[in-house]
Amino acid sequence: MKLVSRLFIALTVAALAYAAYEALVVAPTEQTMGNVQRIFYYHVPSAWTAFLLFFVNFLASVVYIWKRSAAADAIAAATAEVGVVFCTVVLITGPIWARPVWGIWWTWDARLTTTLVLWLIYVSYLVLRSYSTGSQTALLAAALAIFGFVDVPIVYMTIRWFRTQHPSPVIGGGQNSGLDPSMWPPLLWNWLAWSMLAVILIAVRYRLQVMEEDVEQQHAQAALRGGAA
């Protein structure tokens, strides 16, 4: 198992390096925005990865409410935490890209605002899990996660429902908004590489979550034995 993990880590490092080469060297320079547009190859894959992780968190939360599965709860916690990391990357790279293109760091645009709300919801989820000590914490967190996931399709659809400052979608965005074919390989390579990194981070966080739960159970059992004595 350790050999498989090491091979996967090595493949992930190689994929990240090759994805960076694709984004910074192979990808063509966008005519209007210039080299700053290369942030696109990190901004968009980070958003896609965050959405995917929040979807897994949603599924795990549903399973936990249904079956009270400790494994599902641990998966939900891990995917939410890593998802917040990738959503944070989205919120950082977006303004860095926007400043030279729009002339502003931030605007209360529908896409930007709903993304910030999404980040705040899942940060609240993590705060709830970290600071609440009640027996119903996991159940409340699962309910919050299910509620929070409603914002994911809203974020995705804002640039289709509203006229926004944000650029048109690159997939299914209409006749004049498609992505140049030469830009697809760098985009997909980066999504693959960042998704592989997300798998590693989730695996590490899942193990930590299970260990934390084991320690809490041992403390609870020790307290019961001490009370009985």
pLDDT per residue as tens digits for the range 57-87: 999 999 999 999 999 999 999 999 999 999 9
pLDDT at 133: 74
pLDDT band of 226, cuts 50, 70, 90: low
pLDDT band of 141, cuts 50, 70, 90: very high
Kindly state the average pLDDT of the residues 115-136: 92
pLDDT at 40: 94
Q: Which residue has the higher pLDDT, 222 or 90?
A: 90
Q: What is the pTM of this model?
A: 0.89
State both tokens at 157: 């659809």
Q: What is the DSSP letter of 167?
A: P
Which of 1.20.120, 1.10.10, 3.30.1490, 1.10.3470 is the CATH number of 2-228? 1.20.120
Query: Which residues 6+ apart lie within 8 Å of 87 measured at CB?
Result: 46, 47, 50, 115, 118, 119, 122
CB distance 56 to 203 below 8 Å: no
Residues in the chain: 229
Query: Where in the chain are the domains?
Result: 2-228
pLDDT at 175: 45
Three-state DSSP class for 53? Answer: helix
